[in-house]
C-alpha cells in the first residue's frame, strides 16, 4: 500500500491490507444514506417517538397497538430501503478476504442484501415476527400488512423479532460477536454513537485484545479519542469508497503489500 504519510484513509487501508482479519461493527449511521433515519440526533427516530414509550418490551406488553404505530413506520422504511455504497463496500472487502464478519446493530437486513455472507444480527431482524406468548415465528412479508397489527395463530399480537430495550441480546449473537471482537486484527466501527450496551462494549473488547479500532463517523462519539485509533470523519459510503480506492490503487502498484508486508 502506498506510504500513508498523514492520510488516515491510507493508513486505515494499509492496516486492513496488512492484518486481513477485520471485523465491522455497524450502527444506524451506515443505513442513513439508504433513507433509514438513525435513532439519535435531531432527525432521529427517538426525536419523534419516546423510546421509553415505544421501544421497551414493557411498553409492547402494555400497549402493543401503540408500539405498532412506531413499528409500522420502521417496517415500511426498511422495506423500501436498498443497500448503499457502504454496505456494498463491506461486502466487497469480505470478498477480498479483508473483512471476515459484520456485527450489526441494525435490523434492516441491508448487509445481507448487499452480499455480505457473515452477518451477526446483534439486535435481531425486522424480517421476522415472533409471538411473545407462544414464541411462534413468521416472516414479516407473509404476515404483516401496512396499517394492520399482525396476529399470531394463537390470537396474540406479534412483535418484530428485534431486541427492544429491556430485552436480552440473543445469546448466540452475543457470544459470536464477542469472540469475533476478541480475535480480529482490526475492528471497523461504522455509524454508531456507541451509547447502547452491550454493543458499545465490543470496541473495548477488541481493543483490549490487541485489535486496531478504526472509527467511521462524521461526528465524535464516546469512543473517539480513547478506544479509537484512527477516526475517519465522513459518511460511511464516502469513506468506504476511498478505502476501496486505496486497495484498487494498490492492485495497480507492482510492489503491492499483497506481495509483501512493509
Ligand atoms: N455515515 C456514517 N455515520 C453516520 C452517518 C453516515 N452517513 N450518518 C450518521 N452517522 C452517525 C451519527 O453521527 C451517529 O454517531 O451514526 C450514528 C448513529 O447513532 P444512533 O442513532 O445512536 O444509532 P446506533 O448507534 O446504531 O444506536 C444503537 O440504539 O436505539 C437503539 O436498538 C437501537 O440499534 C440501535 C441502538
- The dihedrals phi and psi of 177, each to the nearest 5 degrees, come to -60, -45
Using the CB atoms, write b or e for 18-40: b if 16+ within 10 Å: eebbbbbbbbbbbbbbbebbbbb
169 Cβ inside 6 Å of ligand 1: no
Identify the pLDDT of residue 9. Answer: 97
Identify the pLDDT of residue 41. Answer: 83
Q: What is the pLDDT of residues 205-221, one digit of tens each?
A: 999 999 999 999 999 99
- Ramachandran sector of residue 21 (left: φ over 0; alpha: ψ -120 to 50; beta: rest): beta
- Taking CA atoms only, the protein residue closest to ligand 1 atom 29 is 196
Distance CA 33, CA 1 (A): 29
Cell 422504511 identifies what position? Answer: 77
Distance CA 124, CA 167 (A): 11
What burial class does residue 184 get, using C-beta atoms within 10 Å of its C-beta: 0-12 exposed, 13-18 middle, 19+ buried? buried
Identify the pLDDT of residue 22. Answer: 98
Atom of ligand 1 nearest to the CA of 44: 21
Contact 237, 85 (CB under 8 A): yes
Paired sense of beta strands 99-104 and 22-26, if any: parallel
User: Is 123 a catalytic site residue?
Assistant: yes
Identify the pLDDT of residue 115. Answer: 98
Mean pLDDT score, 10-30: 96
Compute, in angstroms, the gap from residue 18 CA to the centroid of ligand 1: 28
Atom of ligand 1 nearest to the CA of 199: 28
Q: Does the pLDDT at position 1 exceed 90?
A: no
Q: What is the pLDDT of residues 147-192, one digit of tens each?
A: 899 999 999 999 999 999 999 999 999 999 999 999 999 999 999 9
- Measuring CA to CA, which residue among 10, 84, 22, 88 is closest to residue 247? 10
Identify the pLDDT of residue 30. Answer: 98
What burial class does residue 226 get, using C-beta atoms within 10 Å of its C-beta: 0-12 exposed, 13-18 middle, 19+ buried? exposed
Q: What is the pLDDT of residues 57-94, one digit of tens each?
A: 999 999 999 999 999 999 999 989 999 999 999 999 99
pLDDT > 90 in the chain, percent = 87
38 Cβ inside 6 Å of ligand 1: yes
pLDDT > 70 in the chain, percent = 93
Residue in 87, 111, 123, 231 annotated catalytic: 123
Distance CA 53, CA 61 (A): 11
What is the band of 6 on the pLDDT scale with cuts at 50, 70, 90?
confident
Distance CA 31, CA 40 (A): 13
Contact 195, 38 (CB under 8 A): no
Q: What is the pLDDT of residues 220-257, one digit of tens each?
A: 999 998 999 999 999 999 999 999 999 888 665 444 44
Rounded to the nearest integer, the mean pLDDT of the chain is: 93
Ranges of H-type helices in the chain: 8-19, 45-48, 51-54, 57-62, 64-80, 85-95, 110-114, 140-143, 171-183, 202-208, 236-252
Atom of ligand 1 nearest to the CA of 38: 21
Mean pLDDT score, 48-54: 97
What's the predicted TM-score (pTM) here?
A: 0.94
Pocket test for ligand 1, best of 27, 31, 44 (most atoms within 8 A of CB): 27
Amino acid at each position: 500500500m502506498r506510504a500513508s504519510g498523514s492520510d488516515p484513509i491510507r493508513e486505515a487501508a494499509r492496516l486492513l491490507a496488512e492484518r486481513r482479519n477485520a471485523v465491522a461493527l455497524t450502527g444506524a449511521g451506515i443505513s442513513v444514506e439508504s433513507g433509514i433515519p438513525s435513532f439519535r440526533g435531531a432527525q432521529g427516530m427517538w426525536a419523534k417517538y419516546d423510546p421509553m414509550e415505544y421501544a421497551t418490551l414493557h411498553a409492547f406488553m402494555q400497549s402493543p397497538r401503540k408500539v405498532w404505530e412506531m413499528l409500522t413506520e420502521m417496517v415500511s422504511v426498511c422495506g423500501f430501503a436498498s443497500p448503499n455504497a457502504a454496505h456494498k463496500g463491506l461486502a466487497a472487502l469480505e470478498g477480498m478476504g479483508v473483512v471476515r464478519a459484520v456485527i450489526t446493530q441494525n435490523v434492516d437486513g441491508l448487509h445481507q442484501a448487499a452480499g455480505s455472507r457473515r452477518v451477526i444480527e446483534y439486535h435481531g431482524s425486522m424480517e421476522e415476527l415472533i409471538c411473545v406468548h407462544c414464541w411462534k415465528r413468521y416472516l414479516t412479508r407473509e404476515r404483516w400488512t401496512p396499517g394492520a397489527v399482525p396476529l399470531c395463530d394463537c390470537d396474540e399480537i406479534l412483535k418484530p423479532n428485534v431486541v427492544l430495550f429491556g430485552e436480552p441480546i440473543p445469546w448466540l449473537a452475543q457470544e459470536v460477536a464477542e469472540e469475533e471482537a476478541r480475535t480480529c486484527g482490526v475492528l471497523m466501527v461504522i455509524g454508531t454513537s456507541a451509547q447502547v450496551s452491550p454493543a458499545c462494549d465490543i470496541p473495548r473488547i477488541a481493543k483490549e485484545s490487541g485489535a486496531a479500532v478504526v472509527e467511521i463517523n462524521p461526528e465524535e462519539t464516546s469512543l473517539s479519542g480513547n478506544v479509537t485509533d484512527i477516526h475517519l470523519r465522513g459518511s460511511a459510503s464516502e469513506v468506504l469508497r476511498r478505502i476501496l480506492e486505496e486497495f484498487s490503487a494498490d492492485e495497480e502498484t507492482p510492489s503491492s503489500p499483497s506481495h509483501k508486508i512493509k
